[in-house]
Structure 1
Amino acid sequence: MHQPKVVIYTKFGCGFCYRAKRLLDDKGVSYTEHDITMGGPKRDEMMAKAPMARTVPQIFIGDTHVGGSDDLAALERAGKLDAMLASA
């Protein structure tokens, strides 16, 4: 089994972004980070993938939009994050 691709959209100086990345780092999860501080095509990409998203971080595991830092932490507390990360 391989880990699904994890993508996180962040902004410089964002404490919630730091917290989400720290949780992923602590779990040994590799992820692709897109800094959208200055907007640009990656911000447009995020908005296309999650049209209602107005804050960062926005986290995607595979094709699933997890949401933000609090949503990621809630999955971890509920014991569901590891299963999501393990699924192909």
Structure 2
Amino acid sequence: MSQVTVYTTEPCGYCRVAKALLNKRGVPFEEINLAKDPEGRAELVRLTGMMTFPQVVIDGETIGGYQELVAFDRGGSLAPLAAAA
């Protein structure tokens, strides 16, 4: 089973809709909220090279933010993650 991690902050509308999309597709994920964690944010930048939220990481590979997650879904790549859950 793939490990899906969603890095979020507050308030963040894109974070909310990214989590809703994953839930709708039945993809289990771990949420890491970095709203009050500057060290975690620095680690996220090191990991993904991005400073925007959300950041979606699947099995250690950065997918990107909400728009990239939608494209990933439209390409049919979320369905296998849900099936493996």
How many residue pairs get matched? 83
Please show how residues 22-41 of structure 1 align to structure 2 within 5 Å. Answer: 22-41=20-39
Question: Unaligned regions of 5+ residues in structure 1, if any?
Answer: none
The separation in 2 between residues aligned to 1:63 and 1:55, in whole angstroms, is 17
Give the TM-score, by structure 1 length.
Answer: 0.82
Structure 1 contact 34–42 (Cα < 8 Å) conserved? no
> Identity rate of aligned residues, in percent?
34
- RMSD of aligned residue pairs (Cα, Å): 1.6
Question: Unaligned regions of 5+ residues in structure 2, if any?
Answer: none
The separation in 2 between residues aligned to 1:30 and 1:77, in whole angstroms, is 18
The equivalent residue for 1:17 is: 15
Does 2:59 correspond to 1:62? Answer: yes
3-state SS, counterpart of residue 10 of structure 2? coil
User: How far did residue 64 of structure 1 move?
Assistant: 1.2
Give the TM-score, by structure 2 length.
Answer: 0.85
Matched AA of 2:27:
V
Runs of 4+ in 1 over 2 A off after TM superposition: 39-42, 80-83
Q: Which structure's residues are more often helix, by fraction?
A: 2
